Amino acid sequence: MTSEFKADLILGLEDRPHAEILKAMGYRNPSPQNLNRLKSVLDDEYLSLNSGGFDLKYSTPEFLLSLGRVAGLDLKTSQQRIEAIQQYLSDEWQAFKPYIWVDTHFKRTTQPIFALAACESFRHLGFPKGFWRLPPEEQLRKAQALARQHMAETEGTLSIWGKIHEYWFFYEPREAYILSPEGEVAGKQAGPKPNQASCEIVDAITGANSTV
């Protein structure tokens, strides 16, 4: 998708100076900002469609259509490719991103809430971009592997939180597989995590809004 469109653009613009390309796009006297924008677009994985760049002449989609024209690409095809990339990015933004929550059966005693909130991220294990697009069975296999890897790396103890008892693999916002420390499926759970530490200062930094 993106790689094909990007490859066709680069091929069509091959060996042409960036200033010349911009002039063909309608920039009478390309400025350093115009040149930087062109470079950023061609260097970016998603051709800057994920960053919302613009200038007084073009929005990003318009910039790409003009760039495609200069590269000799079909206008309709370029439009379809741009729309496909935008849809992909929209889906990526809106989709729930599966993650693992590490359960140590923690019960707070004298630990400062600020310290717990600052360490809350230690209990969350993420996956690479695009993981949510994998088939459910493959997601589960990778979650099991990550649990085993984490168990080995931490030797079963998670900092301030204590001994690891299980891993909750949230494949939906309120649906999780319970994994043993060995990565085996021990059951399923519906609902939120048992507890989560937070405080106003850390929440302001991280954007979190959960409470203990």
Among the candidates 49, 65, 93, a domain finishes at 93
In-domain check, residue 211: no
pLDDT tens readout for residues 66-77: 999 999 999 999
Burial code of 27-64, b = ≥16 C-beta within 10 A, e = fewer? Answer: beebeeebbebbeebbebebbbbbeeeeeeebebbebb
Domain match, 88 and 102 both = no
Are the beta carbons of 66 and 25 closer than 8 angstroms?
Answer: yes
Query: Burial level of 196, CB count in 10 A (0-12/13-18/19+)?
Result: middle
Q: Would you call 163 helix, strand, or coil by DSSP? A: strand
Q: Is pLDDT at 18 greater than 60 in this prediction?
A: yes
pLDDT tens readout for residues 175-204: 999 999 999 999 999 887 776 554 444 444
Q: What are phi and psi of 165, to 5 degrees?
A: -105, -35
Candidates 51, 54, 91, 71; CA nearest to 4 is 71
Instruction: Tell me what the pLDDT averaged over the chain comes to.
Output: 89
Among the candidates 93, 121, 136, a domain finishes at 93
Are the beta carbons of 149 and 72 closer than 8 angstroms?
Answer: no
| Domain interval for residue 111 | 95-206
Q: Would you call 162 helix, strand, or coil by DSSP? A: strand
Query: Which of 28-42, 78-92, 107-121 is the least confident region?
Result: 107-121
In-domain check, residue 212: no
pLDDT the model gives residue 114: 77
pLDDT tens readout for residues 24-73: 999 999 999 999 999 999 999 999 999 877 788 999 999 999 999 999 99
Among the candidates 39, 64, 93, a domain finishes at 93
What tokens were used for 76? 């309709």
Domain match, 109 and 89 both = no
